[in-house]
Chains A and B, each alone.
Chain A
């Protein structure tokens, strides 16, 4: 099959024009956090939900809100609490006294961008209801099934400091998030800029520069980004190395990995790499894209052994070792 890479490149160049507009608007409000913004866009463009982990006050919520402002989409924030019920998120059937009939009242999940704040604060039944909706992209209320709007992106946050009174997400459910981001503190210059910007008389506001239709078009274009079989094999090598590290000369990881990444990891790594190339306005995927996004796709999909935990070796360290070992094509 011959590929007209010039045509693909031209198309991607055209379709990705809005990225710069979004970035410009977001950077009016958010200082730094380019990594987070880029990953949020990758999630948006490749239909992947994002789990954000970081201490409070790192502009996680603000970033999501700003992103939704730039896209003219419906944004909903749900604060997860221990007494939250699935119906509070999904919606429920209510009895209309006037008409004597039951009607559906849709929950906040029916939005384009949903921010599930502190997802690990609510019990498993609420978490699984949301995660199921994320996977199926539809919600059943009563007898009726409703399709969730397009684009649909769930951004969940987790606070890594407080563990008291939390319900950690089960590994199988964490796997449903395409990316898990670890948000760090801003640097000194960024901190200064944040302080100045947020204490000014007028707090900057992002303008809507993109329509949901543009996003849908871009999502289609992302699927057209060319991925060479060499890159596909590179992705499979990385994922297989999490399962059979010995086959890749990573003998030291054998005792550290309890469960490797699932095939969902390969799919997500492929899609995220395409979206990453799209953001770089490139019509094809390079190993740079895979390596750049690899950590965010894999860090929550590898379950380390008790031995690894005892030695304080995290899944991130395991992924880093794998990425540093597998030869790029």
Chain B
């Protein structure tokens, strides 16, 4: 048993002696300088940013040489592009920099390769030999990178790229939105124009409009004026005016409903009574067939006219609207 243990220990010691750099097995390889040059040590790191990458993404492969001391201590020789399997070089670059790491000046030379995966599966970067010269000792050395593997997985959906049906929907939505936008813009413009026109129209007060309509509809100088018809027209004009000017119930409402509304709006009694008299008389004439005297029409015409005038001068209206001056 002791013999077996001693034999195993010897094998392990021999193995360690024969393979001094165990780290070389790792993906992220760090190659120590085999022959120590004066007081400087050069280190090599070869690694990929991500060992698992989608097919439609790039693999960044870095070779980093790092030593203590000045940047010009070593001269790295040009080397060939890495031998790749299932990967393609898309670009490369190199950079030098000097940094202080743990209080020691450190020079860093970095080579970058941008690799594009070819197919889903495994990609490999074969080991590379990096040759360099130690300018202090004027000696040439070499370092070898490890074989690095990259797992290439399913491609990711590209930003903004859509499948055809989705793209169709997207285009449709875009077109519809554009149409709506144009239409909205046109409507807005039309409304603006209309509003401008109405503003122009609104300059003419409602009362004036109805006064003109009154005179235009009922011609008191006409000898053949139909009294019943004239009364019906007078009543209609007055109702429409009350509706437009004071939001009273419209032509679908009865006389009592209109009067009720005026009372509710706190119109002065004298105005309500006058309106009530006109509308009630008109109802009697319209619905009872009662004959109409010409003076009746003239009188009613004058009252309606005076109502419009009073409203124009702000004398007639809901209680809150009327303005009274107290001396």
| A226 at the B interface (CB under 8 A) | yes
Alpha-carbon distance A177/B119, docked complex (angstroms): 88
Alpha-carbon distance A6/B251, docked complex (angstroms): 28
When the two chains form the complex, which single residue of B255, B256, B286, B290 contacts A230, counting CB atoms closer than 8 Å?
Answer: B286
B8 to chain A, nearest CB (A): 90
| A212 at the B interface (CB under 8 A) | no
User: Are B287 and A284 in contact (CB-based, < 8 A)?
Assistant: yes
B23 to chain A, nearest CB (A): 80
A7 to chain B, nearest CB (A): 11
| B197 at the A interface (CB under 8 A) | no
When the two chains form the complex, which single residue of A3, A226, A286 contacts B283, counting CB atoms closer than 8 Å?
Answer: A286
Q: Which residues of A contact B255 (CB under 8 A)?
A: 286, 288
Q: Which residues of B contact A3 (CB under 8 A)?
A: 288-289
| B4 at the A interface (CB under 8 A) | no
User: Are A324 and B256 in contact (CB-based, < 8 A)?
Assistant: no
| A100 at the B interface (CB under 8 A) | no
User: Are B287 and A325 in contact (CB-based, < 8 A)?
Assistant: no
Q: Which residues of A contact B290 (CB under 8 A)?
A: 5-6
When the two chains form the complex, which single residue of A6, A226, A284, A286 contacts B254, counting CB atoms closer than 8 Å?
Answer: A286
User: Are B251 and A226 in contact (CB-based, < 8 A)?
Assistant: no
Give the bracket for the number of chain A residues in contact with chain B.
20 to 34
A 1-43 contacts with B by CB, 8 A: 2-3, 5-6, 9
When the two chains form the complex, which single residue of A2, A230, A326 contacts B252, counting CB atoms closer than 8 Å?
Answer: A326
When the two chains form the complex, which single residue of A285, A323, A324, A326 contacts B287, counting CB atoms closer than 8 Å?
Answer: A285
| B253 at the A interface (CB under 8 A) | yes
Q: Which residues of B contact A123 (CB under 8 A)?
A: none
| A264 at the B interface (CB under 8 A) | no
Q: Which residues of A contact B253 (CB under 8 A)?
A: 328
Alpha-carbon distance A98/B263, docked complex (angstroms): 74
User: Are A288 and B288 in contact (CB-based, < 8 A)?
Assistant: no
Q: Which residues of A contact B286 (CB under 8 A)?
A: 228, 230, 329
Alpha-carbon distance A65/B189, docked complex (angstroms): 70
Which chain B residue has the least Cβ–Cβ distance from A325? B252
| A291 at the B interface (CB under 8 A) | yes
B250 to chain A, nearest CB (A): 8
Q: Which residues of B contact A231 (CB under 8 A)?
A: 287
Which chain B residue has the least Cβ–Cβ distance from A329? B286
Contact with A along B244-260 (1 / 0, CB 8 A): 00000001111110000
Which chain A residue has the least Cβ–Cβ distance from B287? A228
User: Are B252 and A324 in contact (CB-based, < 8 A)?
Assistant: yes
A 268-301 contacts with B by CB, 8 A: 283-288, 291
Those 7 A-B pairs whose CB atoms lie nearest each other, nearest first: A284-B288, A5-B288, A3-B289, A288-B254, A327-B251, A228-B287, A287-B254
Q: Can you add 18 more A-B contacts, CB < 8 Å, to A285-B287, A288-B255, A324-B252?
A: A2-B289, A3-B288, A5-B289, A226-B288, A226-B289, A228-B286, A228-B288, A230-B287, A286-B255, A286-B287, A287-B254, A287-B283, A287-B287, A288-B254, A323-B252, A328-B251, A329-B286, A329-B287
A/B interface sample: 20 pairs, CB < 8 A:
A3-B288, A5-B288, A5-B290, A9-B288, A226-B288, A228-B288, A228-B289, A230-B286, A284-B289, A287-B283, A288-B254, A288-B255, A288-B283, A291-B254, A323-B252, A324-B252, A325-B252, A327-B251, A328-B253, A329-B286
